[in-house]
């Protein structure tokens, strides 16, 4: 009996150490993500991915998320009732925003990400340094659809961060995002690792 108890104690201690090790790994990955350093050097320079609190974002990240939240309020979504907002910062430093615009025939609808980028490209901005996408979901991050991922890649000369946050359930909520709310920092290469990259 004492031997069995000893084994159980050892097993519990080992489990505790493994849990702590995973927590430390998550913290290291998060710090590397916030500092912009790669976790694993890939063939293409891919930015690390992590989840942080809104208050931990740098100024540019917060600015993009807030711009996307404001843009989402203008969404035209009478059919799905699912509003999305997006914002992209051009190489020149300008922020272009967009919302989803639905159509009764569905196919002509335009996602928020493409709305923002089309506005930018129409004003001769074709290189971007970051983007943000927001939509309401109680317990998941809503990332760009496949078409939007390919569209973003067309204008990404290198990997760029994409900030994904949850919008409030009600449009009149203030503030639109709390400091403690989680934000997924991913990137376009993470979202679309095997994209169309050549016309040939």
Which residues fall within 8 angstroms of residue 153, CB to CB, at 6 or more apart? 188, 192, 195, 196, 197
Does 145 appear as a known binding residue? yes
Is cis: bond before 175, omega within 30 of 0? yes
Catalytic residue among 49, 56, 102, 113: 113
pLDDT, residue 28, reads: 81
- In terms of Cβ atoms closer than 10 Å to its own Cβ (0-12, 13-18, 19+), residue 146 is exposed
Q: What is the DSSP string of the chain?
A: -HHHHHHHHHHHHHHHHHHHHHHHHHHHHHHHHHHT--SS--SS-PPP-EEEEGGGS-HHHHHHHHHHHHHHTT-B-TTT---EEEEEEETTS-EEEEE-B--TTSTT-B-HHHHHHHHHHTTT---EEEEEEEE--SSS--PPPHHHHHHHHHT-SS--EEEEEEPPSSTT-SSSS-TT-EEEEEEHHHH-SS------
pLDDT of residue 113: 98
CATH of domain 45-191: 3.40.140.10
Answer yes or no: is 110 a known binding residue: no
Alpha-carbon distance 3 to 190, whole Å? 48
- State the pLDDT at residue 36: 66
Positions in the chain whose pLDDT score sits under 70: 1-5, 7, 36-43, 197-200
111 annotated ligand-binding residue? yes
Domain residue ranges of the chain, discontinuous segments joined by +? 1-35, 45-191
The reply to whether 113 belongs to the active site is: yes
pLDDT given at position 200: 46
What is the pLDDT, as a whole number, of residue 125? 98
Length of the chain: 200
pLDDT at residue 63, rounded to an integer: 98
């Amino acid at each position: 009996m004492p031997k069995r108890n000893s084994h159980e104690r050892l097993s519990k201690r080992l489990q505790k150490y493994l849990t702590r090790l995973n927590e430390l790994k998550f913290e290291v990955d998060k710090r590397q993500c916030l500092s912009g350093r790669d976790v694993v050097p890939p063939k293409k320079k891919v930015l690390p991915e992590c989840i942080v609190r809104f208050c931990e974002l740098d100024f540019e990240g917060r600015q993009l998320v807030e711009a996307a939240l404001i843009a989402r309020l203008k969404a035209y979504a009478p059919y799905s009732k699912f509003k999305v907002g997006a914002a992209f910062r051009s190489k020149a430093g300008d922020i272009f925003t967009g919302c989803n615009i639905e159509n009764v025939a569905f196919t002509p609808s335009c996602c928020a990400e493409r709305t923002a980028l089309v506005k930018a490209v129409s004003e001769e901005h074709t290189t971007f340094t970051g983007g943000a996408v927001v939509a309401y979901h109680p317990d998941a991050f809503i990332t760009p659809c496949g078409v939007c991922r390919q569209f973003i890649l067309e204008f990404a000369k290198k990997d760029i961060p994409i900030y994904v946050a949850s919008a409030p359930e009600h449009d009149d909520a203030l503030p639109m995002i709390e400091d403690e709310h989680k934000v997924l920092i991913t990137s376009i290469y993470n979202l679309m690792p095997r994209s169309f990259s050549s016309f040939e």
